[in-house]
């Protein structure tokens, strides 16, 4: 498996935007201290103008979800809200076909 993106949150906010150029599906993993917050991963198919939350990609505890099958050039970001002193990592991990 290859990591497409890794975001670390130590406060509420929105991550940088990552553009996926691959063709393999990927999983979303969230782990660490959520600080009672919620992290949501969203995607954009219009170059980053409009982001839509991914189904089953809202987490309040350590979890893994997927496999998402993205379109080439699709953009992704994560947003953490409602947290108090979090230390949270969110990963997009490519599932390599064998």
pLDDT in tens, 58-72: 999 999 987 888 888
What is the domain-level CATH number for residue 40? 2.60.120.260
Q: Which domain holds residue 67?
A: 2-94
Q: What's the domain count of the chain?
A: 1
Is pLDDT at 2 greater than 90 in this prediction?
Answer: no
What pTM was computed for the model? 0.92
Average pLDDT of the residues in 64-92? 93
From first CA to last CA, the distance across the chain in angstroms is 11
pLDDT tens column, 13-56: 999 999 998 888 999 999 999 999 999 999 999 999 999 999 88
Token duo for residue 61: 């505890």
C-alpha distance from residue 63 to each of 5, 59, 98 (Å):
16, 7, 24
Pairing of strands 63-68, 52-59: unpaired
């Amino acid at each position: 498996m290859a990591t497409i993106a890794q975001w670390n949150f130590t406060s509420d906010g929105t991550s940088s935007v990552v553009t996926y150029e691959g063709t393999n599906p990927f999983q979303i993993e969230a782990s660490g201290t959520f600080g009672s917050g919620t992290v949501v991963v969203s995607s954009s198919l219009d170059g980053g103008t409009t982001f839509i939350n991914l189904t089953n990609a809202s987490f309040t505890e350590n979890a893994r979800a997927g496999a998402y099958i993205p379109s080439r050039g699709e953009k992704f970001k994560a947003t953490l809200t409602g947290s108090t002193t979090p230390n949270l990592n969110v990963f997009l991990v490519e599932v390599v076909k064998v």
